[in-house]
Amino acid sequence: MQSNNVNKDNSFNIIMGSRLKLYRNIEGYKFTNKLEVEEGRRLSEKVTDILANNIENIKVINLWEDEEIENGSIYKESGIITEKFNKNKDFASFLINKEKKLYVMINEENHIRLQIENSGNNIKEMYNTLNDIDDLLEENLNYSFDEKFGYLTPNIKNIGTAFTCSIIMHLPMLTSRDRITNINKGLKRIGMAMQGLYGEKAKAYGDVYEIYNEITTGISEEEILENLLTVSENIKNEEINIREEVLEKYSEEIEDRVFRAYGILKNARILNWLEAMALISDLRLGAELSLIDMNKCDLDKIMILTRDSVMKENLNKMLSSRELRIERAKLVKELI
């Protein structure tokens, strides 16, 4: 369980994943908030036909025929399924290629949302995949595009490139030093921002943050990617510097924090989600520093699987808050 090789400088340890999204709308169709059901289904079928005939191993689900995705809390908690998508379930479709981690939402807020995500920081490769699919669609469809404003979207914040990208990072040391607010202020000045992946407003449960671009106009997709890579590298280095400093001065305290978290998670009989998130964050820090031999991706999954809504769906029964905390402790013990 314990590892003797402390690993202080590995970007994959800190960078948990990346996520890229492209928003597109089709000329000649109303935006989704004005679409009639029949027209929406025609649009959906047109897009799914193009993708299904050109991409291998892609699964197509029409929400008006199958409620599998509508009820999929895992997709909801990871931000793939949104309330706007469920609102349009009478004419919305969902496509997924698990191998490429590619998701296509049709008739959500936009006619098309292309999304690809992966662990690590290989966003240039991910962008190439997304761009190829975008080119495929553009060859067969007329996008709503204006020479002055770029790609048109119902949300004015997304016009221009209609492209957003983000990197997800685990930043427990920057959090403990109260550095997040100042970092975010600096990001805002260059059209970027960061927020907790799990939590509300300024809270970031599990010390997990998403760094993303806010500006989509007056800048190319490639420039957005380069800016994100640069700022994420700077943030990563800040986190590493604090880790090195703390390890040098307080290595026993860090080890105690990690193994105390392991002991509680492995032996607790009752766990609320916020406590579990804090302890899993400590455990992930231990895995990142090679203090404890645990799979980081498994810990990331536990953060999602232990959420109230996901647990209720997976257990498929009504539970009181006390019963839910008991079941969470059992689940965490089993998964760890």
Asked if residues 174 and 19 have their Cβ atoms less than 8 Å apart, the reply is no
Spatial separation of the C-alpha atoms in residues 330 and 180, rounded to whole Å:
33
In this structure, the number of other CB atoms found within 10 A of the CB of residue 173 comes to 22
AA identity, residue 335: L
- The structure tokens listed for 291 are 């203090």
164 is in an annotated binding site: yes
168 is in an annotated binding site: yes
Nearest C-alpha neighbor of 304 from the set 81, 21, 13 = 81
20 is in an annotated binding site: yes
- The structure tokens listed for 92 are 């919305």
* Secondary structure (3-state) at 54: coil
40 is in an annotated binding site: no
196 is in an annotated binding site: yes
Spatial separation of the C-alpha atoms in residues 102 and 79, rounded to whole Å:
13
User: Strand ranges (DSSP E) for the chain?
Assistant: 15-24, 59-62, 93-97, 102-106, 112-118, 145-146, 150-151, 163-170, 192-196, 208-213
198 is in an annotated binding site: yes
167 is in an annotated binding site: yes
165 is in an annotated binding site: yes
Q: Which residues are part of a known binding site for ATP?
A: 17-21, 113, 164-168, 195-200
Q: Which residues are part of a known binding site?
A: 17-21, 113, 164-168, 195-200
